[in-house]
Structures are given as C-alpha cells and as structure tokens.
Amino acid sequence: MSSFSSCPASSVSAPAPPPHVVEDCLGVVQLLSDGTVTRPTRSFLSDPPAHEIRRDLPVEWKDVVYDDSRGLRLRVYRPTTATTKDGEKKNLPVVVYFHGGGFCIGSFEHPSFHEVGLRIAHDLPAVVLSADYRLAPEHRLPAAQHDGETVLSWLSGHAASGADPWLAESADLERVFVWGDSCGGNMAHHVAVRHGSGCGLDIDPVRIAGYVLLCPYFGGEERMASEASFPRDVLMGLALFDQMWRLALPAGATRDHPAANPFGPDSAPLDGVALPPVLVADAEKDLLRDRTADYVARLRAMGKPVELVVFEGQGHGFFVYEPWGAAADELVRVVRRFVHGDPPATS
C-alpha cells in the first residue's frame, strides 16, 4: 500500500480592516483607530468669517519663528501711529496672545485671530505677539503649555540682545501682559504658575505685569452647575468640549489632570505662587461660567490680586466671533484700563 503524508492546509489571514474614524472634531481633526491624525485641507475654518473685516487699521505685522527646532511661529503686530507729543515712537506695553481652539485647532493666520491681533494692537495700543503652538492630538498636553513658556523665553532672549528691531524700537518689556482666550487662557494660567512658582522660567529682563484670561478653558470630572444644565444642542457645548479634552489630554487621563483642572487632586497648590494682577473675563452664556467664577473665588481666597468682569448676554469665544461688536468694544475698554490704569484690588 502506498502511504501518503498529509500537509496541513495553509491558513490565509484575512486582511486587516482599514482604519476607521474614532473621533471627528468639527470635520477639522480626525483621529483614526490606528492612531493616525488627519486634517482635511477644506473645513469650516476655510470659510470667510461672518464678522466685519477691517483693512484700514494703521498696524503693521510680520511673522517670525520663535522655536527653530519645531518651526513654531508667532505674528508681531505694532501700531504705526503710536508716538509721543514730540513725534517720537512711543514704547508700548507688550501683549503675548494665545488663541483658542480647544488645543486642537486654530492659528494666528486664521482671519478671526488675525483680526483680534490687529484690534488689540491698535486699540490698547500695544505690541502684540500672537503665537501658534503645537496642537493635539498629534501633540498632547502639556506640549502647548510648554510652548507658551518658550514664547516668553524667546521674548526674554530678544529683549536681552535687542535682535528684533520692532521690539527694540517700540516695546516696553517691563510691561508685558499675557492674554489667552479659551484654551489660550488655560495656557496663560500655566505660564503664570510656572513663572510665579520660580520653577525655572527665568525671563529677565522681561517683567510680566499682568495676565488676562478670557473665558478660560478649564475642566474637571465633577460637573459645575452651568455645565450640567447647559443645552445639549449648542455647538460650543459640553459634547464638543469633552471631545476636545479627550483629544488634548494624555491618553487615558481624566479632566482632573493638572493640565485641565488647576485644582484637581494631582494639581500643585497655588497658595505660594506669586502672581501679578490677573483680569478674568467671563461670559454669561458660557457653559464654563461657573468654573471660571470658581477659579476666581479660589484665587481671591488665597489673597491673589484678581478681578472678574462678566459680559452679559455673551457666549464662549465672543471676542473672536465678533471682534468689532459691542461686547468686544467693552472688553477692549476693560483691558485697556487694566493695562494702562490701576491694577485690581486683592479683595
């Protein structure tokens, strides 16, 4: 009899399914199941803004690189009409501005953020540094917060060297204000804490004279009343904000992570942090309004010089959405008084 040896049937593995979308944030950022991040070239950010565009302001601007290793840039604005009574150029306060976007979207190049930079420079007036930073989820927190520190270090280096002619000619580097909108306000807070705690952010000869936090983007696992009761069918609502935290925070972290919650269980205490005057602007119709008010109340309880101004009838991001509206006019007046006038009281 002939014997036959049987070979096991070869197994052919099925092809891996193509990666699918895990998170789609406004059609601007998509996180895929394999960890890939895509940013479509066309999104609502490509559309012209609905608000008025001012092209006649006497403000000049230029783009510079502040971090060569990462190719990060900022846009410098300065008014061309700021002169003394003798016709000489006036040294102006410096505003370091961090835009919003949930740490996931945005750039100083977007027309709305560009318009904000122009308005701040012209109407305060001030030299404005509007900085881009690394975005999530490609670069999760605390990457953006570290970039905020790098901007201040860049400013310090140029102040010491006099390398940038605009800063040398126009900037009063003993009056530097850090202004952040939404997640930019979060960044301003972290820069303030890092500098005020003396933890290695040496920016001499620059002096930070104050911070402006506009509708700061903070989070926490425990919902505030304004978050829990906020309408679910609003774009700037809880679903979007929670999604942006999932994309921005370290993988697996909760909203109590120190990058999100200044008073979370693992956040460093702020009692011993030396803060200059802080101006916090809240919006009545912002879902984060109670969290912002709580932030101010806690700082005041520590004796920090913080002022709260509430803008009635406004929602999150109102300055960017309508930079020439009535609420924006009032915001600029409040910040102008803060920058050029008396600091807020401690009580």
Above 80 in pLDDT, residue 334? yes
Other C-beta atoms closer than 10 Å to the C-beta of 37 total 16
Using a cut of 0.85, tell me whether the model's pTM lies above it: yes
Q: What pLDDT shows up at residue 88?
A: 64
Q: Answer yes or no: are the C-beta atoms of 152 and 135 closer than 8 Å.
A: no
pLDDT of 293 strictly over 50: yes
Catalytic residues: 182, 286, 316
Q: Strands 92-98 and 21-25: what pairing?
A: unpaired
Give the pLDDT mean for 263-268: 97
Tell me what pLDDT residue 306 has: 98
The pLDDT of residue 87 is above 80 = no
Share of the chain above pLDDT 90, in %: 82
Grade residue 10 by pLDDT with cuts at 50, 70 and 90: low
Q: Could you tell me the CA-to-CA distances from 3 to 6, 9, 14, 207, 262 in Å, in that order?
A: 10, 19, 34, 92, 77
Q: What is the tens place of the pLDDT at every residue in 30-48?
A: 999 999 999 987 666 566 6
Share of the chain above pLDDT 70, in %: 89
CA distance linking residue 329 with residue 191, whole number of Å: 27
The residue-averaged pLDDT of 53-68 equals 93
Higher local confidence (pLDDT), 320 or 345? 320
**Mean pLDDT computed over every residue of the chain:** 91
pLDDT bin (cut points 50, 70, 90) of residue 344 is very low
Decide if pLDDT at 54 tops 90: no
Instruction: Check residue 180 and give its pLDDT.
Output: 98
- Tell me the average pLDDT across 194-221: 95
Which two three-digit tokens encode residue 229?
């009761």
Tell how strand 171-181 and strand 127-131 pair up.
unpaired
